[in-house]
Structure 1
Amino acid sequence: MKKQFIYILLSFLFIGNLSAQQTPAPKQSKKIAIVGATAHIGDGNVIENSLIEFSNGKITFIGKASDKTPEGEVMNYNGKHIYPGFIAANTSLGLAEIDAVRATRDFDEVGGYLPHIRSIIAYNAESKVVESMRPNGVLMAQVAPRGGTISGTSTIVQFDAWNWEDAILKLDDGIHINWPSSFSRGRWWLGEDPALKPNKNYSKAVDRITSYIERAQKYLSGNRSPKDLPFEAMDKLINGNQKLFVHVTGEKPITDVINNCKKLGIKNLVLVNAEGAEKVTDLIKSNNVSVILRRSHRLPNSEDDDYDLPYRMAKILSEKGIVVALGMEGEMERMNTRNLPFYAGTYAAYGLGKEEAVKLITSNAAKILGVDDKVGTLSVGKDATLFVSEGDALDMRTNIILNAFIQGRKISLETHQTKLWKRYANKYKNQ
């Protein structure tokens, strides 16, 4: 019986190794030049018939193909399109693999106030779900925790790594708070009216959050004894070296978040999801607050909202001068993150424009997440994290990735999904 158990265990390990993510690509060893493609810089500008050169993982030249003779290994992509690697903000990628299997879910810790919980510790660099992002050009993400009032700390990662340490682009970039709703629904299973009504506990819930931050400030300004790990984890936030991501919905809650953070002296504030932000754009802009919107393919939050308001939100906020990025929180968020460019494409179709929509998932996302010195645009000195597409990367019909690089490393675009597609395509082709 013991031997039989050992054989079964070994067979599972063997099968697991066969289906694991591809081995990370080797470090770039020679200069590469991509010639002829239309370069979408990521800041709104476009270069036709471009030349991009990169060496040792960094971009060394970008301009027109006529500006200089290409050096190194030359890749001709006339008529194709090149983009910076897309960045998914506010995801739980790598923190869960199969939603129906509890043992694979590690995005929500027990407790309500957990600023010391670090999502990166649980990040699985070999996730098959993470692997499936790359064929659509999604090469980086902010991995954020979920649950509780203060969920914990997020980290920015790239998608070609042996382990979570190798994946890090920016460690512990911000703390995430779930702000209470000013409305609530009755618990129908207890016979309560399920209709939406004012949340009578809203003010108390807000007071608990502000009181917690005030106690952290008092602790950090004192002798810090006895040591309090949750308060210690808020040191960078209180000192202005870390961002606060507040997940909030509704005009009043958004107003309360901004006003309370101003009173508490918290400068680096980002609103996440922020449904209702279109009603308080002047307040958001005047306080230099950025916004990470929910994905565009959803229903309006209120029955009084225009049916297409979710599609127009990026345009409304961007026209007011607010820096906007695109997040993925919601149902099946990890699997749906692969559709990030197509959500941006919907915003483009509803008035934002294609190059402005590209900014949502490149330069704007990089700026909000604090990694714009490394990624987000095709610029000299930044990481050579980019990809070449057959056509418009925001259109699922033409976003066919021909080549992709992360920090200059040429990565594989094969996944378990592409293998299955090829397998069954050949089956039916031969019949």
Structure 2
Amino acid sequence: MKNIKYMILPVLLLITGSLIAQQTPAPKQTTPITIVGATAHIGNGEVIENSLIILEDGKIRTITDANTTKMPYRGTIIEAQGKHVYPGFIAPNSTLGLVEIDAVTQSDDEDELGEMLPHVRSIIAYNAESQVVESMRPNGVLIGQITPRGGRISGTSSVVQFDAWNWEDAVLKENDGVHVNWPSSVRRGRWWEGEEPGIKPNNKYEEEVLKLKDFFKNSKAYLAGPRDRTNLPFEAMDPVFSGKSKIYIHADGEKEIVDIINFKKENDLKNVVLVGAYNGYKVADELKKNNIPVLIGRVHSTPNLEDQDYDLPYKMAKLLNDKGVLVGLETSGQMERMNSRNLPFYAGTVVAFGANKEDALKMITSNTAKILGVDDTLGTLEVGKDATVFISEGDALDMRTNKVTKAFIQGRDISLESHQTELGKRYSDKYTQ
């Protein structure tokens, strides 16, 4: 009897999973698509009020003002007067596809044992059929940077598109950068150790920074030597030192950010990106001077300290942008995978607190594409770039009007259905009965 019970459970799980599986990925584009009349938000600050866009062979072949051209329409015609078209939004520093259910250990692949893990590749753990991943698309979030967590050096991220059978189909840029969690100079009192609550100095800060510096020093020495024995962590640092890949350093404190700037200089690191950067606005001039872009922490947050402006997280991106720092928005934090669908509305909040609307749009399109090193194919509506675009009935940065009617990834007409949209329809029908 007990054996029968254990046999039935996996079968039920299999049946349930098949009922709520992800939508089938769209086939390759075979017919040109012409989008006519939409307001095109290019993603670089420009807007075309009455646009003509032609997508062909997965690329943007034409984008122009429909008022000034007599170019013939081709293939499938989409009349989009009164609507808006955007480049696909990009969610950086995300664990989408690495964790499905937080409480189920077997579905959690965001972290590995160890401290210095630059050789750990998040992409091979990415689940392209995640139900959480498919729920991004109805809001226009079509691209993500899949990032590991944990340790001092978490591992290597990769950039993917959100309509694929597996990680091999999904990947757009493999191993784009290594992620480092910089030590914190402060910590909170540990009640389980009998310490008083509140923020205290981290007495081991210098020691922890020294360990990180030693790892970089030893990596350089190994890479410059004969390499008689393979050391995978040291090997993985080669693209970082050569500048072929980015190094994303996660930190929030002012002291930590200043130390990171000095660390960049000491190690001659060419492609440093600051992630989080809660106090980055205090040293914005130095970030600009040292050509360090920022992926700013979640906009929909409360201030860290009681004496800070209530709206500091809302206006932080504008403060950095006004100083000339290249800024992108990221969504990490509590329930980050589910909240990633709100990325466009974080940009909308940045607008509500002073930023220009097209500047805020750049923070989830072209700026982020530049930071991740994929701006040659993504981030803007320009001829030759991937046809990764979507059409919304209204302003995509406003949750009241962001109603995506069509979305394309590399020209493929993707499904906008998800488990959530199916439930939405089900319960809408309930109240009509």
TM-score range, shorter chain: over 0.9
**Partners in 1 of 2:10 and 2:270 — Cα distance?**
52
Q: Which SS does the other structure have where 1:284 is aligned?
A: helix
**Partners in 1 of 2:261 and 2:8 — Cα distance?**
59
**Partners in 1 of 2:55 and 2:21 — Cα distance?**
30
Q: Output one character per residue of 1:165-209: Cα deviation in whole Å (capped at 9) or x when no partner.
A: 110010000000001111122211221122212211111111111
Q: Percent identity?
A: 59
2:359 to 356, 359, 364: 356
**Partners in 2 of 1:6 and 1:101 — Cα distance?**
19
1:167 to 163, 167, 170: 170
Structure-2-length-normalised TM-score: 0.97
Q: Which SS does the other structure have where 1:230 is aligned?
A: helix
Per the alignment, residue 121 of structure 1 pairs with 124
**Partners in 1 of 2:342 and 2:9 — Cα distance?**
37
Q: Which SS does the other structure have where 2:431 is aligned?
A: helix
Structure-1-length-normalised TM-score: 0.98
How far did 1:304 drift? 2.6
**Partners in 2 of 1:410 and 1:46 — Cα distance?**
24
Per the alignment, residue 382 of structure 1 pairs with 385
Per the alignment, residue 142 of structure 1 pairs with 145
How far did 1:322 drift? 0.6
Structure 1 segments of 4 or more deviating over 6 A?
Answer: none
Q: Which SS does the other structure have where 1:154 is aligned?
A: strand
**Partners in 1 of 2:119 and 2:14 — Cα distance?**
34
Per the alignment, residue 158 of structure 1 pairs with 161
**Partners in 1 of 2:146 and 2:110 — Cα distance?**
9
**Partners in 1 of 2:388 and 2:358 — Cα distance?**
18
Per the alignment, residue 204 of structure 2 pairs with 201
Per the alignment, residue 404 of structure 1 pairs with 407
Per the alignment, do residues 74 and 225 of structure 1 end up closer, same or farther by CA in structure 2, a change over 3 Å counting? same
How far did 1:3 drift? 7.0
**Partners in 1 of 2:98 and 2:8 — Cα distance?**
30
Letter in 2 for 1:304: D
Letter in 2 for 1:165: E
Indicate whether 1:12 and 2:26 are aligned. Answer: no
Per the alignment, residue 50 of structure 1 pairs with 51
**Partners in 1 of 2:298 and 2:14 — Cα distance?**
37
**Partners in 1 of 2:6 and 2:255 — Cα distance?**
59
Aligned residues: 430
Per the alignment, residue 240 of structure 2 pairs with 237
Q: Which SS does the other structure have where 2:343 is aligned?
A: helix
**Partners in 2 of 1:220 and 1:371 — Cα distance?**
27
**Partners in 1 of 2:284 and 2:228 — Cα distance?**
42
Per the alignment, residue 218 of structure 1 pairs with 221
Q: Which SS does the other structure have where 1:399 is aligned?
A: coil
Structure 1, unmatched stretches of 5+, are: none
Per the alignment, residue 106 of structure 1 pairs with 109
How far did 1:303 drift? 2.3
1:252 to 244, 250, 255: 255
**Partners in 1 of 2:11 and 2:152 — Cα distance?**
42
**Partners in 1 of 2:411 and 2:252 — Cα distance?**
39
Q: Output one character per residue of 1:56-108: Cα deviation in whole Å (capped at 9) or x when no partner.
A: 10000001113122222111010000000000011110000111211111101
Indicate whether 1:288 and 2:286 are aligned. Answer: no
Q: Output one character per residue of 1:15-74: Cα deviation in whole Å (capped at 9) or x when no partner.
A: 322221011000001000000000000001000110100101000000111312222211
Per the alignment, residue 371 of structure 1 pairs with 374
Per the alignment, residue 25 of structure 1 pairs with 26
**Partners in 2 of 1:375 and 1:150 — Cα distance?**
28
Letter in 2 for 1:57: G
Per the alignment, do residues 183 and 9 of structure 1 end up closer, same or farther by CA in structure 2, a change over 3 Å counting? closer
Q: Which SS does the other structure have where 1:34 is aligned?
A: strand
How far did 1:315 drift? 0.8
Indicate whether 1:274 and 2:274 are aligned. Answer: no
**Partners in 2 of 1:104 and 1:306 — Cα distance?**
39
Letter in 1 for 2:49: E
Q: Output one character per residue of 1:139-164: Cα deviation in whole Å (capped at 9) or x when no partner.
A: 00001001110000000000010100
1:392 to 377, 392, 395: 395
Q: Which SS does the other structure have where 1:397 is aligned?
A: coil
Q: Which SS does the other structure have where 1:351 is aligned?
A: coil
How far did 1:8 drift? 5.2
The more displaced of 308-317 and 64-73 is 64-73
How far did 1:14 drift? 3.2
Indicate whether 1:60 and 2:81 are aligned. Answer: no
Q: Which SS does the other structure have where 1:23 is aligned?
A: coil
How far did 1:328 drift? 1.2
How far did 1:302 drift? 2.4
Aligned residues: CA RMSD: 1.2
**Partners in 2 of 1:327 and 1:338 — Cα distance?**
11
How far did 1:6 drift? 5.2
Q: Which SS does the other structure have where 1:352 is aligned?
A: coil
Per the alignment, residue 328 of structure 1 pairs with 331
Per the alignment, residue 77 of structure 1 pairs with 80
How far did 1:5 drift? 5.7
**Partners in 2 of 1:91 and 1:4 — Cα distance?**
38
**Partners in 1 of 2:11 and 2:339 — Cα distance?**
33
**Partners in 2 of 1:11 and 1:193 — Cα distance?**
49
**Partners in 2 of 1:265 and 1:118 — Cα distance?**
24
How far did 1:288 drift? 0.4
Q: Which SS does the other structure have where 1:366 is aligned?
A: helix
